[in-house]
C-alpha cells in the first residue's frame, strides 16, 4: 500500500512472469522422480550423502549393508559405514573433490555392514545436488567374493612355491606342473618333468605291492601319505615324506592328483646326530652306557624260543690315570681310541663294545651257547683274542707305551633278572681282577672262576712244557691182515713232573685255541721224522710208516708246506714213510688251499689219510680231488659195530667208498677179534686198536715189533 499526493491510499502491484521457472521446476521434479525411479531399480548399490550424513540409499545398498529398510541407514553419519582403516582417506578425498567439483575416481575400500561385518567394495563418487543441496552420489560394487578368491589364489600360488616339492598330474598321472622346490629337491627342471609320470623318481627300493597299496588308498580315500625312497636326477637315493591328494569334478570323477613332498635327508642326518649324542661316546664312537644298558636289557628279555646265555665283561685299563697325567690328556685320549679299535676287532660282529666311563669299557657277548661249559669256552676264546690285541704296545708320536687290562666277567641268561644286575657283578669281578694284581681275568661265578684258574695254570704249564721239552711220542701199531705191523700212529704225551703222563684230551684243545699247537706240532713232526731216520737203519723196522696228526690251525699256516719240506731235509727222513692225518674240518674253511698244499707234499712222496672219517662235513666233490692214500674209520663207529646197525652201515659205506676211489681203509679202535672179523668180511683189512697194542713208549713199541 502507498499514498499518492492527494493523500489517498493506493495498491501497487508488481507482476513477474514465472511460467518458465515453473516449467523448469516441473521438469526438474519430473527428472528427479525419473532419476529416483532409475536409482531404485539399479542393480548396483548406491548411497547419496551430504554434510557427512547419509541422505539416500537404494534397495541394492540396503541389501548390501544387511539393513531391513532405508531408515536403518538414512541419517547415519557416513563415516560410521566406513571401516576405520579407510575413514581418513575417504574424508580427504571427499573434501578435495568437493572443493574442485570433480568426481571421485574408483576406489577400493572396506565398509561395515549393519551387523559390524566387513565387506570389500569398489566405490566411485559423483558430485551432485540432492534435494537442492550439494551431495555425493556413491555407486558401489561388492567385491568381497572376488577378494576372497584372489586371496585364495595368492595363498595357493604362495603355497605352491613353498619349501615343499609339489607336482600336479592329470587323471592319467601325467605331470602337468611342478614348483621350484620340486626341481631343487629332485634335480629335474620343469621341462624334463612335465609330460612324465611320477615313476620318473622311482628308486627301485619299493616293490610292486608297495605302490599297489598306495594307489588302493588313494582310490578309496582320495589321499595317501608316508615315507618313500626316491632318487634324484644325479642318481642318489633319498628319503622323502610324500602326500598325494585327489581332485574330483562335480561328477565325482578324478581330474587331477596333487603331490607334495619334503626331503627327509636333513632330518635323517639330524636324527643320526641326535642318536649319536644320546647313545654314542664322542671320543671313541662306541655305544655309551645308556645304549649298552638298552642292549643288555634286550639280551636279558630275549624270547624264550631264542634263549641262550650271554656274557658281560667289564674292562679297566691298569694305571691309566698315571699314564694320562704323565703323557697328557691328548695322548691319553689317543690311547683310549686305539684301545677301543683293538677291543672292537677282538669281538664277534654280533657283540657290543661300549665305553661307559673314562677308561672303563664293557663288552656284551650275546647269543652264546645255552650250555654253560660251551658258553664258557666261547667267552674264553674271545678273551684270549682280547689279551692278544690289547697287550701289544701303543706307538704314540714320540714314545711307545704298554698298558695292561683288568677284566671282570659274568654270565647271564639262565633266568630273568634286573638289567643292572649283570653290570654290578661284572664290576665286582673287575675290581677283584685289579685286587689280584691287575692284567688278569676274574669271574664272578666262583665255580667258573675255579675252572678259569685251572685253565690259566694249565696254559702256563703248557708253555713251560714246550720250553722244557716235556713231551714224548707214544706209538700205536697199525696192522694189516697180510703184512702184520706196517706202521704206527705217533700220539703225543705230556710228561708233566707233577701230573705224570697227561693225555692230549686235556690240553690239545687249549693248545689249539692259544696257538701253542704250532710249536707243539713242529716238535711232533721233527721227532717223528728223526724216528723214521733211526728205523731206516734197522732192517726189522725200516718198512714202518709213521702217521702224524696235523691240526687244522697248523695246516692253515701259509708256510706249512715249507715247514714240512725243511723238516724232511733237516732230518734226512724218507718222505714216503711219512703219513699226515688230517681231519675233515680242515676242508670246511678253504678246500682249494688244502688241495694245493696236499699236492705239493704228495709230489715228494708224503702220504695222506683223512682221520675220523664220517664224523665231519667234507664234500665228496672235494674229497675225490684230494691226493689221499686212505680213509680212517672213526672208533665211534667201530665200538658198536656189532650191535648198532647204523654204525655197521656207515662203516660198510666208508669201505665201499674207499674201494671205489682206489683208496686204502683202516679202522681204529678195534678191541676184539669179533670186530676185526666183521670189518674183514666187509673188506677192511687194516686195523689199529687195543686188540693189537696200546700206545707205547718207543722202547716198548720196538720190543713189540721185535717179538712180533
Provide the CATH number for the domain around residue 113: 3.30.450.20
User: What is the per-residue pLDDT for 270?
Assistant: 72
Provide the CATH number for the domain around residue 552: 3.20.20.450
Domain boundary among 444, 477, 505: 444
- Phi, psi for residue 278 in degrees, rounded to 5: -85, -35
Task: Please give the residue that has the higher pLDDT: either 140 or 98.
Answer: 140
In the predicted model, what is the mean pLDDT of residues 491-495? 94
- Closest to 315 in 3D by CA, of 372, 382, 370, 371: 382
Cell numbers of 126, please?
559423483
Write the CB contacts of 278 (distance below 8 Å, at least 6 apart in sequence). 290
User: What is the per-residue pLDDT for 9?
Assistant: 64
Task: Please give the residue that has the higher pLDDT: either 18 or 675.
Answer: 675
Task: Please give the residue that has the higher pLDDT: either 102 or 427.
Answer: 427
Task: Please give the residue that has the higher pLDDT: either 471 or 303.
Answer: 471
User: What is the per-residue pLDDT for 587?
Assistant: 65
Cell numbers of 535, please?
728205523
Residue 693 lies in a domain: yes
- Pair 334, 473 in one domain: no
- Pair 643, 517 in one domain: yes
- Phi, psi for residue 590 in degrees, rounded to 5: -150, 85
Query: Does the pLDDT value for residue 386 go beyond 60?
Result: yes
Residue 487 lies in a domain: yes
User: What is the per-residue pLDDT for 155?
Assistant: 64
Confidence of residue 456 (pLDDT cuts 50, 70, 90): confident
User: What is the per-residue pLDDT for 6?
Assistant: 64
- Pair 98, 171 in one domain: no
Under 8 Å between Cβ of 521 and 554 = yes
User: What is the per-residue pLDDT for 23?
Assistant: 63
Query: Does the pLDDT value for residue 192 go beyond 90?
Result: yes
In the predicted model, what is the mean pLDDT of residues 300-311? 73
| From 98-102, 107-111, 176-180, 411-415, the region with the lowest mean pLDDT | 98-102
Query: Does the pLDDT value for residue 616 go beyond 60?
Result: no
Is the dihedral angle over the CA atoms 610, 612, 616, 621 positive or is it negative? positive
Query: Does the pLDDT value for residue 149 go beyond 80?
Result: no
- Pair 220, 117 in one domain: no
Query: Does the pLDDT value for residue 257 go beyond 90?
Result: yes
| From 16-25, 391-400, 601-610, the region with the lowest mean pLDDT | 16-25
- Pair 692, 620 in one domain: yes
In the predicted model, what is the mean pLDDT of residues 125-150? 83
- Pair 494, 539 in one domain: yes
- The number of angstroms, rounded, from the C-alpha of 198 to the middle of its chain's C-alpha atoms is 28
Provide the CATH number for the domain around residue 398: 3.30.70.270
- Pair 502, 610 in one domain: yes
Q: Mapping DSSP to helix (H, G, I), strand (E, B) and coil, where does residue 211 land? A: helix
Residue 696 lies in a domain: yes
The rounded distance, in Å, linking the Cα atoms of 300 and 309 is 9
Task: Please give the residue that has the higher pLDDT: either 259 or 328.
Answer: 259
Count of C-beta atoms within a 10 Å radius of residue 697: 15
Confidence of residue 306 (pLDDT cuts 50, 70, 90): low
- Pair 107, 172 in one domain: no
The rounded distance, in Å, linking the Cα atoms of 331 and 323 is 9
In the predicted model, what is the mean pLDDT of residues 350-358? 92
Domain boundary among 147, 174, 192: 147
CA dihedral 697→699→705→708, nearest 10 degrees, is -100
Task: Please give the residue that has the higher pLDDT: either 27 or 499.
Answer: 499
The rounded distance, in Å, linking the Cα atoms of 373 and 59 is 102
Domain residues for 188? 164-268
Q: What is the pLDDT of residues 271-304, one digit of tens each?
A: 777 777 778 888 999 999 999 998 998 888 874 5
Residue 224 lies in a domain: yes
| From 12-26, 300-314, 363-377, 419-433, the region with the lowest mean pLDDT | 12-26
Confidence of residue 448 (pLDDT cuts 50, 70, 90): low
User: What is the per-residue pLDDT for 621?
Assistant: 59
Q: What is the pLDDT of residues 541-594, one digit of tens each?
A: 999 999 999 988 899 888 999 999 999 999 999 999 999 999 876 765 567 788
Confidence of residue 406 (pLDDT cuts 50, 70, 90): very high
Query: Does the pLDDT value for residue 337 go beyond 90?
Result: yes
Q: What is the pLDDT of residues 85-121, one digit of tens each?
A: 888 888 887 777 666 656 667 788 899 999 999 999 9
- Pair 125, 202 in one domain: no
Give the total number of structural domains in the chain.
4
Query: Does the pLDDT value for residue 703 go beyond 60?
Result: yes
Q: Where are the alpha helices (DSSP H) in 480-577?
A: 504-513, 517-536, 552-555, 560-571
Write the CB contacts of 250 (distance below 8 Å, at least 6 apart in sequence). none
Residue 152 lies in a domain: no
- Pair 143, 169 in one domain: no
- Pair 336, 395 in one domain: yes
User: What is the per-residue pLDDT for 614?
Assistant: 63
The rounded distance, in Å, linking the Cα atoms of 666 and 686 is 5
User: What is the per-residue pLDDT for 98?
Assistant: 64
User: What is the per-residue pLDDT for 324?
Assistant: 79
Percent of all residues in the chain with a pLDDT value above 70, rounded to a whole number: 88
Most confident option among 246-255, 439-448, 673-682? 673-682
Query: Does the pLDDT value for residue 61 go beyond 80?
Result: yes
pTM: 0.48
Cell numbers of 122, please?
569398489
Q: Mapping DSSP to helix (H, G, I), strand (E, B) and coil, where does residue 385 land? A: helix
Domain boundary among 444, 477, 500: 444
Cell numbers of 350, please?
654280533
User: What is the per-residue pLDDT for 210?
Assistant: 93
The rounded distance, in Å, linking the Cα atoms of 203 and 205 is 5
Q: Which helix (H) or strand (E) holds 64?
A: helix 59-64
Confidence of residue 350 (pLDDT cuts 50, 70, 90): confident
User: What is the per-residue pLDDT for 695?
Assistant: 94
What is the chain's alpha carbon radius of gyration, rounded to the nearest angstrom?
52
Count of C-beta atoms within a 10 Å radius of residue 29: 10
Residue 451 lies in a domain: no
- Pair 496, 550 in one domain: yes
Query: Does the pLDDT value for residue 619 go beyond 70?
Result: no
Residue 290 lies in a domain: no
Query: Does the pLDDT value for residue 492 go beyond 90?
Result: yes
Residue 364 lies in a domain: yes
To the nearest whole number, what is the mean pLDDT of the chain?
86
Count of C-beta atoms within a 10 Å radius of residue 81: 21
Confidence of residue 137 (pLDDT cuts 50, 70, 90): confident
Residue 401 β-bridge partners: 394
Amino acid at each position: 500500500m502507498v499514498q499518492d499526493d492527494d493523500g489517498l491510499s493506493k495498491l501497487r502491484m508488481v507482476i513477474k512472469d514465472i511460467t518458465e521457472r515453473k516449467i523448469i521446476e516441473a521438469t526438474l521434479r519430473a527428472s528427479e522422480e525419473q532419476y529416483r525411479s532409475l536409482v531404485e531399480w539399479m542393480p548396483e548399490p548406491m548411497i547419496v550423502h551430504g554434510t557427512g550424513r547419509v541422505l539416500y540409499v537404494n534397495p541394492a545398498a540396503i541389501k548390501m549393508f544387511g539393513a531391513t529398510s532405508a531408515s536403518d541407514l538414512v541419517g547415519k553419519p557416513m563415516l560410521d559405514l566406513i571401516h576405520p582403516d579407510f575413514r581418513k582417506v575417504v574424508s580427504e578425498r571427499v573434501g578435495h573433490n568437493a572443493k574442485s567439483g570433480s568426481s571421485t575416481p574408483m576406489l577400493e575400500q572396506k565398509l561395515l555392514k549393519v551387523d559390524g561385518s566387513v565387506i570389500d567394495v569398489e566405490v566411485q563418487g559423483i558430485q551432485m545436488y540432492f534435494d537442492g543441496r550439494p551431495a555425493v552420489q556413491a555407486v558401489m560394487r561388492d567385491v568381497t567374493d572376488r577378494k576372497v578368491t584372489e586371496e585364495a589364489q595368492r595363498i595357493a600360488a604362495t603355497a605352491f612355491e613353498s619349501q615343499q616339492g609339489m607336482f600336479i598330474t592329470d587323471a592319467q598321472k601325467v605331470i602337468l606342473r611342478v614348483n621350484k622346490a620340486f626341481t631343487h629337491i629332485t634335480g629335474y627342471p620343469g621341462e624334463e618333468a612335465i609330460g612324465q609320470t611320477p615313476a620318473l623318481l622311482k628308486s627301485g627300493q619299493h616293490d610292486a605291492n608297495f605302490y599297489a597299496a598306495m594307489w588302493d588308498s588313494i582310490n578309496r580315500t582320495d589321499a595317501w601319505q608316508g615315507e618313500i625312497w626316491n632318487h634324484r636326477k644325479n642318481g642318489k637315493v633319498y628319503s622323502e615324506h610324500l602326500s598325494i591328494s585327489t581332485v574330483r569334478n562335480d561328477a565325482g570323477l578324478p581330474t587331477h592328483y596333487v603331490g607334495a613332498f619334503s626331503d627327509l635327508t636333513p632330518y635323517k642326518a639330524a636324527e643320526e646326530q641326535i642318536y649319536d649324542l644320546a647313545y654314542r661316546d664322542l671320543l671313541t664312537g662306541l655305544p655309551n652306557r645308556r645304549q649298552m644298558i638298552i642292549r643288555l636289557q634286550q639280551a636279558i628279555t630275549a624270547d624264550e624260543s631264542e634263549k641262550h646265555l650271554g656274557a658281560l665283561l667289564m674292562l679297566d685299563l691298569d694305571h691309566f690315570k698315571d699314564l694320562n697325567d704323565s703323557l697328557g690328556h691328548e695322548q691319553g685320549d689317543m690311547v683310549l681310541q686305539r684301545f677301543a679299535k683293538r677291543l672292537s676287532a677282538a669281538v664277534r660282529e654280533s657283540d657290543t663294545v661300549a665305553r661307559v666311563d673314562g677308561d672303563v669299557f664293557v663288552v656284551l657277548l650275546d647269543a652264546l651257547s645255552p650250555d654253560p661249559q660251551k658258553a664258557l669256552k666261547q667267552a674264553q676264546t674271545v678273551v684270549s683274542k682280547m689279551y692278544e690285541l690289547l697287550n701289544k704296545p701303543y706307538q704314540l708320536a714320540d714314545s711307545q707305551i704298554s698298558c695292561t687290562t683288568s677284566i671282570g666277567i659274568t654270565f647271564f641268561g639262565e633266568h630273568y633278572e634286573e638289567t643292572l644286575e649283570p653290570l654290578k657283578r661284572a664290576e665286582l669281578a673287575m675290581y677283584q681282577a685289579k685286587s689280584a694284581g691287575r692284567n688278569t681275568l676274574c669271574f664272578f661265578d666262583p665255580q667258573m672262576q675255579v675252572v678259569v684258574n685251572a685253565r690259566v695254570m694249565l696254559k702256563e704249564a703248557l708253555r713251560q712244557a714246550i720250553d722244557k721239552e716235556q713231551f714224548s711220542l707214544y706209538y700205536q701199531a697199525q696192522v694189516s691182515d697180510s703184512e702184520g705191523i706196517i706202521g704206527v700212529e705217533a700220539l703225543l704225551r705230556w710228561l708233566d713232573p707233577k701230573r705224570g703222563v697227561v693225555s692230549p684230551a686235556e690240553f690239545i684243545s687249549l693248545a689249539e685255541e692259544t696257538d701253542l699247537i704250532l710249536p707243539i706240532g713242529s716238535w711232533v713232526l721233527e721227532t717223528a721224522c728223526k724216528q723214521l731216520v733211526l728205523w731206516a737203519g734197522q732192517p726189522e723196522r725200516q718198512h714202518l710208516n709213521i702217521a702224524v696228526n696235523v691240526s687244522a690251525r697248523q695246516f692253515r699256516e701259509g708256510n706249512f708246506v715249507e715247514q714240512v719240506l725243511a723238516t724232511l731235509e733237516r732230518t734226512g727222513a724218507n718222505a714216503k714213510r711219512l703219513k699226515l692225518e688230517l681231519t675233515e674240518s680242515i676242508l670246511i674253511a678253504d678246500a682249494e688251499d688244502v688241495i694245493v698244499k696236499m699236492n705239493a707234499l704228495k709230489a715228494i712222496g708224503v702220504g695222506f689219510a683223512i682221520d675220523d672219517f664220517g664224523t665231519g662235513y667234507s664234500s665228496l666233490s672235494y674229497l675225490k680231488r684230494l691226493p689221499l692214500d686212505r680213509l680212517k674209520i672213526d672208533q665211534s663207529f667201530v665200538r658198536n659195530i656189532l650191535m648198532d646197525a647204523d654204525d655197521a652201515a656207515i662203516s660198510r659205506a666208508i669201505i665201499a667208498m674207499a674201494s671205489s676211489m682206489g683208496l686204502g681203509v683202516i679202522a681204529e679202535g678195534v678191541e676184539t677179534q669179533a670186530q676185526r672179523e666183521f670189518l674183514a668180511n666187509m673188506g677192511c683189512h687194516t686195523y689199529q686198536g687195543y686188540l693189537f697194542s696200546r700206545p707205547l713208549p718207543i722202547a716198548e713199541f720196538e720190543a713189540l715189533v721185535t717179538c712180533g
